[in-house]
Amino acid sequence: MTANRIAIEEHFWTPELRALRRGHDVLSDPELGRRLADLGAVRIAEMDEAGIDLQVISHVEPATQNFEPGEAVRLASAANDLLHQAIRSYPSRFAGFAALPTPDPEAAARELERAVTELGFKGAMVHGLTRGAFLDEKPFWPIFDTAQRLDVPIYLHPATPHADVIDAYYAGYPSMVRVGHGFTSEMSAAAIRLVLSEVFDVFPRVQIILGHLGEALPFLLPRVDRYVSRQMKKGRTFRDSIRQNFHFTTGGKFTHTALQCTIEEIGIERLMFAVDWPFHSNLDGSAFIETAPIGDDAKAMIFGSNARRLLRL
C-alpha cells in the first residue's frame, strides 16, 4: 500500500519514562496518558477515522535528554525496542523516529545507527536542550556525522525550557512556560543557533525537521535573515540554510494564514503533514489540509509525497 497520508509527529511513551517525569513535564490528563501508551487499536482507529495511512511515531518530550548519561542510554534503547515491536506488529501503519541518549553523544550516535540499520527507523527526534546544552555544541556533532552518513533527518521538538529561563521570563505566568511561549521561543533559538554554528559547513547534507509550522521561523525569517546573515560565512545566508537544511511540519498549528506564510517562505516541497497526536485531533489535522486554500497537488505533497521522499518510505 502506498501511504497517501503520512503523519510524522505522533507520540507515545514508555511506562518507565512516564514514571520519571517531574515538575512541568508531568501530564495531568489521564486520557492523554492512556492514548500515549497505546501502540495498537486505539491509535489505528483514530488514524482510520481521519484517513491517515501511516504514523511516524516518536517518544513524547522530554524523552531521555535530561538524565545521567548511563541512564539515558538504557532508557532510549528500551524505548526504541518497544517502538520497534509495535512497528513489527503493524508494519504498514507505523514507522519510527529514534529516541537518542544525547547526554552521551557518542552513545547517541551509536543508537541512531542501530535504530536505522537494525530497527529500520527513519531518523531521530531530539527534545529541547540536553542537560542545559544546545545541540549545535561540538560534543553533539557525532550525531550529525551519523545522520549525514545514514541520510536520515533529525527532528527537533520542544521541551520544557531551561530552568533559568523559566525563572527569568515566566515567573508568575505558568501558562507561558511550555506551549504558551517557552516551546516556540527555545526551539526557534535552537534552530537559529544551528544555522549560525558551523554544523552545516561540516555536515552540509544534514536535514533538520521542525514542527508546529517551523516554530514561528517563517514569520520571522525576513528579519532574522537580514541581521544574523551578517555573522555567517560569505556565500551562505540564513535563508539559504533554512531552505537547504530544514523541513517544517504542520503538527499542532492548524491555521491557514500561518500555513500560507510557511509555504511562501520555505516552499511547498519542504512542508510535511503532522498532527502532534494525541495532543491534537487527527480529524482536525486532516481537515486543516483538506480545507486549505491551496491546490490538490500541493495538498498531496504535504499529506504524503514530501515525507515519502525525505524519509524514503
- Tell me, what's the pLDDT at 74? 98
Catalytic (active-site) positions:
276
The 10s digit of each residue's pLDDT in 60-116 is 999 999 999 999 999 999 999 999 999 999 999 999 999 999 999 999 999 999 999
pTM as predicted: 0.97
Query: Which H or E run includes 59?
Result: strand 54-59
Is the pLDDT score of 1 beyond 60? no
Write out the DSSP string of 192-236.
Answer: HHHHHSSHHHHSTT--EEE-HHHHTHHHHHHHHHHHHGGGSPTT-
The 10s digit of each residue's pLDDT in 185-234 is 999 999 999 999 999 999 999 999 999 999 999 999 999 999 999 888 87
Digit-coded pLDDT (tens) for 14-65: 999 999 999 999 998 999 999 999 999 999 999 999 999 999 999 999 999 9
Per-residue pLDDT of 8-22, as tens digits, reads 999 999 999 999 999
Q: How far are the Cα atoms of 34, 88, 308 from residue 272, in angstroms, in the given order?
A: 27, 24, 10
pLDDT of residue 2: 58
178 in Cβ contact with 160 (< 8 Å): yes
pLDDT in tens, 293-312: 999 999 999 999 999 999 99
pLDDT at residue 249 in the model = 98
Portion of the chain with pLDDT greater than 90, in percent: 96
What is the pLDDT, as a whole number, of residue 226? Answer: 94
